[in-house]
Structure 1
Amino acid sequence: MRIVLVGPPGAGKGTQAAYLAKNLDIPHISTGDLFRANISQGTALGLEAQSYMKAGQLVPDSVTIGMAKDRMEQPDAANGFLLDGFPRNVAQAEALDEILKAGHVQLDAVLDLEVPEDEVVKRIAGRRICRNDSAHVFHVTYNAPKTEGVCDVCGGELYQRDDDSEETVRRRLEVYHTETEPIIDYYRSQNLVETISALGKVDEVTAKAMTALKK
């Protein structure tokens, strides 16, 4: 299967992508991983992306599209893939259509993870990270530490990242609504969209996603 995963920040896309890709036996292709891999390997696209990033500029669509195209042409993606974070706007969606058309394949589904905006803010703004080890993550509501502000694992100080502040989260949501959400209508016109609620336990959401994809 060839799937695009869409949803606002805090919808759990990364978590669901990993589970779905494993269940479907297809590679999980995330924009973040694409950038890290190309930059660490020193590819032409990676170096170009890095130059924009160092200058504090947005990486052009053409660079992101090129990275995604190269990754989708790898042998392990011959029978399908799950795209997470790409396409991010309609221009990228149109480019993806052209890439697939050239390869004589097409998307099977666009899975839209739906989460109320207030829940997104609650999920992200409630995160607390350990200063000693960023892998130690807590949440003031869903996974509260035994002692407020103290990591259960190592006793380090817990803090809220600047990116996780409510103000920043709401700005990220505005960007999502403006730039990314329009691709849902774009794909809906192709009868590809399956919308599911991303509320509930991880395995419950995965089950709903698998049921939707079976359609």
Structure 2
Amino acid sequence: MTTEALYQELDDVNHSRDKRLYYANVVLENPGLIPKLLDILFMVDDKRSSKAAWVLEYLCDINLEAIIPYLDVFTEHLHKVHLDSAQRPVAKVCENLAKAYYGKGTSKLKQALLPKHKEKIIEACFDWMLNDAKVAPKAYSMNTLFLLGSEYHWIHPELIGVLERDFHMQSCGYKARAETYFEAVEKQIITLKP
């Protein structure tokens, strides 16, 4: 299937779990479609960018390691994603990558997710935290930065500053997630290092 054919197929993707799951499985069964899906995802001004993001999210939920060969492309361009409906699934993929990397157990991602990838994820997550992104990308970014902060010790103090600054202007969902983060700091689950 060509990129153009996949682009046309994505027109059938909607908010239903069944459609997203169906196309995620189509792409997983034909791994050569992953770079084409990413090409469409990074057509960031096109509405089908969001549909590609939805499929990528489900694909990564099923088999996160499928994205490993494309981490360079994904992390290099993820900061360009600006449509609200595309930011949420992309931010969730970032969170899933961080969870797999810092989680217990073995994962190929522990070798594949390089510092250059993590730095691009950090950059995008802070951009979503600081800009007018909706609450879901901010919540996923908060958790991603929380995890990355165990390695990049400068993240936690910066993130606390952002959360404190924006707390009173944000939604209830944002505040709830931020309060959980603040509680972790108080319980010294997070050690703030200079």
TM (norm. structure 2) is 0.31
TM (norm. structure 1) is 0.29
Higher relative contact order (CA closer than 8 Å, sequence separation 6+): 1
Larger proportion of strand: 1
Larger proportion of helix: 2
From the CA coordinates, give the structure whose radius of gyration is larger: 1
